[in-house]
Amino acid sequence: MVEWLAVWGVTSAVGLVFKPILEDLAKDATKDWAKDLMKDSLKNVLRLPSKEPVDIAAGKALTEFLKLVQDELEEANLSDKEIKEYTKPLKQFIHNKAVKAILGSAFNEDCQVLDTAILAKTWNELNLLSLPEEFDWNPVTKRYLKKVKAIIRESEELRAILDSQRLETIAENTAELAGIIPEFDLEQYQEAIQERYGNLNLQSLDTSGYAYNELTLWRMFIPQNVRQVHEVLHQVHEIPKEHQRRLRESHQLEAEIVAEELERYKQVYFEQPSRPVGEIVKDKDNYRYVVILGDPGSGKSTLLQYLALDWATLSVEAAKFQSIPLLIELRTYLRNFEAKRCNTFLEFFHQSPGSICHLNQQQLHEQLKAGNALVMFDGLDEVFEPGKREDMITCIHRFTNEYPNVQVIVTSRVIGYKPQRLRDAQFHHFMLQDLEPEQIKDFIHRWHELTFNNEGDKVRKRERLQRAIDTSKAIGELAGNPLLLTMMAILNRNQELPRDRPELYHQASRVLLHQWDVERALIEDERLDPKTIDYKDKQAMLRQVAYRMQGAEKGLAGNLISADDLEESLTGYLRSIVDSNARGMAKVMIEQLRTRNFILCYMGADYYAFVHRTFLEYFCAWEFVWQFEKERSLSLDELKTEVFGQHWQDESWHEVLRLIVGMIETKWAGEVIDYLMTLEGEAEEFMEFINLFLAAKCLSDVRNRSVLRETATRLLKQLKGLTNYDLDYYYESYGKEASIVRHIRRQAVAAVAATWQDEPDTLPWLKQLTTSDDDEDVRRAAVEGLAYGWKNEPDTLPWLKQLATSDDDDVRCAAVRELARGWKDEPDTLPLLKQCATSDEYWLVRSGAVRELARGWKDEPDTLPLLKQCATSDDDGYVRSTAVEELARGWKDEPDTLLLLKQRATSDDHYHVRREAVGELARSWKDEPDTLPWLKQLATSDEDWLVLSAAVRELARGWKDEPDTLPWLKQLATSNDNEYLRCVAAEELARGWKDEPDTLPILKQLATSDDNSDVRSTAVQELARGWKDEPDTLPFLKQLATSDDILNVQGAAVRELARGWKDEPDTLPLLKQLATSDNNWYVRTPAVEELARGWQDEPGIFELLCNIAVNHPFEREKNWQINPRQTALEIIIKQYPAYPQTLPLLQDRAENDPDEKVREFAQKKLAKWS
């Protein structure tokens, strides 16, 4: 025993506390503990004639290790006695398998560092005596590694083993190099690219019914547009598609959802120009390194495959002078890397089984050094583990450093992507945009040209799909995604859209929830067993989520659900299919639905939404159908009264109701439609007969219409009758009542044209209306319905051409617009539009023709001169305004456009032209140095208040961060002579500078001291809405509501109190007092209206309204004054029609009210009542 201890250096180690551990090992020297220590390091130890060298080396190594541990414990100021307490724990520790492996790995020739994390973790897992806080494994392992290297150098036997291993490695490498060395065969590589990527990949879609084997990517690919992304914030890009569309179209932001800073990022993003992606790829000098971000199915991978095919279809000689495309699917590369088939990207191409064609890495290296390659890394998001993804980014960054002249493109889904590291590596980020309407149209045309042989079938189904996308907002939204558009094209072959859209939504949700990632061989989260939770379970969960959302305060209009409610919904379902940890799985499911399935998005503030509103509506409808048909928890009467009866007047529910009708059996659908036909709407709110229009839409969604022929006939008769609808009393031709009549007539024509398109009598009926109906709105609606529904009829085009020259201005206007949109390629259309834009006597025809020319014939050489002529010379201000708008949006970069707009903004004699020019200049030429001073001058010098207001608003919103903007606005709000400017300045201060210390005092000053009542009312509104939580706001409003000497200021304060402080105990008594006792109708009327609005079900409110309707002392002095008795009567009729007192009260007021206008109002209502 003493001999081993001496050899190991134990006897000479003075003060070694852990000597007993080594003494025990010396007793076991005959055993194989030393070989176990080094079996994975020195492979040839088993071949040694004696195990003595191994025992010596292992003993020396452990002696050094224990010395170093003791040193570290001493550094922690432990006494010898305290250190001795670690003897037993250390003995157990060094016999642990994982610890032996780490200590033995130090004998590896290429070992540079030991895994201290495993040492620390193992110590804790063995539940050993706690190490002091100051103890650090890092210095222990570093010194230990050095000691082991010294032990190896001192041992002749171990050095021989290492030399032998080196020779074996050299021999293996030589043998490998002596194998088949791949060539650099570009022709073979081109063939491989065409074979791998040549055909359109439809594996994730159901293509049963037709073989699409010959559908090539080359002929179907449509390059999309991109926007540059300067700040990749998921809150900006992870918002519902409908919200993104509104932002693009209106340039407005919804501040209630996200903070102001986030809104700024949104605005900056949507203000970036939308550019063809091909421009970015070709601009290698400015965009050498690019990241393409996008949603699932948006075409990221297809873009890279197309770029590779673009090169692969060149001749071999031509290809040699173009950049060689190297497409690396990162999920494939990672799989080969982890299987030790390759260590670098070059080795991947050289020898990996995942490469579509092997290319000699030495020659590839030379090409890369010369910059003769386009390297594309596809699917960074498909490297799931964060650590591995970071490693992959490091590899890409290192690659760009090693080959700085090579163009590199990386693709990733936007959700979960972190941009900092690649941005630091000089990568520019771009977001793929949804397909534009023209691109969708191009795709549909190509698809049908390539997949249909029968000409008639091709045209009919192409037009059917295009019409479905154009008419259905929900389908149109999905069509912007290339994957979902492809699915629509496949489905459209044997299904009829939009009628069969439930099947479309079912297929789309199935693809997104399951088959999309399964087809791409992506690994689901290991915490979600796909055998237990499949796409059908996800659909069921989303049904319950949508059902919960429709029951929330904002209902379907909101498309929002809190994180807690979402988690609760998913947990409830998961408890029915898993035994434990349902809540934990719900959290994982939420993340998967958001980051992988592209169904939910995070809105911030712990709220989620459906990415596509379409899926909210579909899953909500499906849940009602499920309850009705599967669970039988919803009866037919309940479906009619509680679902349709409660929601038919809410347009945000109409798509859900239509989907339900399309999903249930035809006989039940007929009963629902019959029920809808019995309901009545309110004309005052444009809701009269909406039940019939909804019934027609529901009928169009029924598959087997023949079963419902009797119902359909009754409905058709009623709708045709509505084309002649009128009121049975006199009304002003341009008032609200006239608008309601026009709306009903137009809706009736559109409903018949759309729902009875296949009936033989419909087309002749529409033609008759276009020429002989007395009402201009009916004639115009008939032209639109005819052009849209019968586009392919041979008589339609000649008919429209005839109507385009009609003496009827409205018919002519509609016909010209429909020709431009539906027959753009007809040779006569462009000349007709030019003639109409310049020569038609009706301004609306000229304005419409100008707009259609600008948008449909932008590249025609005559369009720009014609627009300039119309913008400056047309006799009508609205035509000039249209031309100005189109010039600004379509010809921004033309040198004359800016000058022309400035001229129109300052010298046009029509306020509408000047206001339009101001808005376009501010938005499109914001960065021009002259724009800001020019706007400031215009904001105070124009004669029209609408132009002044537009200039102030554009300045406040577009130049918010300019140092002079805030002082300038303050001066306008407090000192300008123009009351309209003071109003606008007050609004903009409250909107954009709420946190400025001077804003609140300025608004208070304006609310109490301004000379103008409108300015004061505006300030009151802004104070109440922006500073609701300020302690002085409520008392301030109460004071204004009860004692201000300006009546409409009092009225404004009353409204704000009622809406912002409804739950305050003093609000209701104050409103009652004002409604009954105030001497002026300016105050009593808003008090009455707010009581009815906020306290409809409060006891005594009905009686209070009845008292006002009979006893209010108002006496009319002016025609325009509002009588509180009439206000109360209107509210009673609307909110309490079933009360027994309502009809007698109405009869009494029709006969006895002292105000003639109130009597007339009551008599009109009575006529409708009967």
Average the pLDDT over each of 177-181, 655-659, 903-907 and give the range with the smallest value: 177-181
Q: Tell me the mean pLDDT in the region 435-442.
A: 92
556 close to 545: Cβ distance less than 8 angstroms: no
For tokens 């509501």, what's the residue? 1041
Average the pLDDT over each of 579-588, 817-826, 837-846, 1122-1131 and give the range with the smallest value: 579-588
pLDDT in the model for residue 264: 54
1001: confidence class by pLDDT, cuts 50, 70, 90: very high
pLDDT in the model for residue 1044: 64
pLDDT in the model for residue 945: 75
pLDDT in the model for residue 251: 40
350 close to 364: Cβ distance less than 8 angstroms: yes
pLDDT in the model for residue 505: 85
Q: What is the mean pLDDT of the chain?
A: 84
C-alpha distances (whole Å) from 641 to each of 521, 618, 671, 680 are 47, 20, 12, 14
530: confidence class by pLDDT, cuts 50, 70, 90: low
Distance between CA atoms of residues 428 and 275, nearest Å: 14
- 352-360: Cβ within 8 A, 24+ apart: 354/329, 356/192, 356/193, 356/195, 356/196, 357/185, 357/188, 357/189, 357/191, 357/192, 357/193, 358/182, 359/182, 359/184, 359/185, 359/189, 360/181, 360/182, 360/183, 360/184
Residue 1054 clears pLDDT 90, i.e. is over it: no
Distance between CA atoms of residues 870 and 849, nearest Å: 11
515: confidence class by pLDDT, cuts 50, 70, 90: very low
Enter the pTM of the model.
Answer: 0.61
pLDDT in the model for residue 179: 52
Residue 852 clears pLDDT 90, i.e. is over it: yes
Residue 981 clears pLDDT 80, i.e. is over it: yes
Q: DSSP letter at 598?
A: S
Neighbours of 875 (CB within 10 A): 8
> 885: part of which helix (H) or strand (E)?
helix 877-890
Distance between CA atoms of residues 826 and 801, nearest Å: 11
Class of 187-229+272-433 per CATH?
alpha beta
Q: What is the dihedral of CA 529, 535, 540, 541, to 10 degrees?
A: 60
pLDDT in the model for residue 771: 86
193 close to 140: Cβ distance less than 8 angstroms: no
Backbone angles phi, psi at 32, to 5 degrees: -100, 30
497: confidence class by pLDDT, cuts 50, 70, 90: confident
Q: Tell me the mean pLDDT in the region 414-421.
A: 82
Distance between CA atoms of residues 1162 and 1129, nearest Å: 8
Q: Tell me the mean pLDDT in the region 595-621.
A: 81
Q: Tell me the mean pLDDT in the region 1076-1089.
A: 74
pLDDT in the model for residue 714: 96
The residue ranking higher by pLDDT, 176 or 901, is 901
Q: Tell me the mean pLDDT in the region 1121-1131.
A: 87
Counting residues of the chain whose pLDDT is more than 70, the rounded percentage is 87
Most confident by average pLDDT, 170-184, 405-419, 426-440, 579-593:
426-440
The residue ranking higher by pLDDT, 15 or 807, is 807
Pair of tokens at residue 245: 């569309």
Counting residues of the chain whose pLDDT is more than 90, the rounded percentage is 33
Residue 531 clears pLDDT 50, i.e. is over it: no
Q: CA angle, corner 352, sides to 349 and 354, nearest 5?
A: 95
pLDDT in the model for residue 215: 78
pLDDT in the model for residue 170: 55
Residue 516 clears pLDDT 60, i.e. is over it: no
Class of 760-826 per CATH?
mainly alpha
Q: Tell me the mean pLDDT in the region 14-42.
A: 71
Distance between CA atoms of residues 469 and 448, nearest Å: 15
pLDDT in tens, 873-913: 999 999 999 999 999 988 988 889 989 998 998 888 888 88
Residue 401 clears pLDDT 70, i.e. is over it: yes
Q: Are strands 561-562 and 324-329 parallel, antiparallel or unpaired?
A: unpaired
pLDDT in the model for residue 956: 85
pLDDT in the model for residue 45: 47
Distance between CA atoms of residues 1158 and 1108, nearest Å: 13
pLDDT in tens, 49-92: 456 777 788 888 888 888 888 888 888 888 888 889 989 998 89
Backbone angles phi, psi at 432, to 5 degrees: -65, 135
Average the pLDDT over each of 179-183, 424-428, 1100-1104 and give the range with the smallest value: 179-183
Average the pLDDT over each of 74-78, 107-111, 374-378, 835-839 and give the range with the smallest value: 107-111
3-state secondary structure of 325: strand
Residue 250 clears pLDDT 50, i.e. is over it: no
218: confidence class by pLDDT, cuts 50, 70, 90: confident
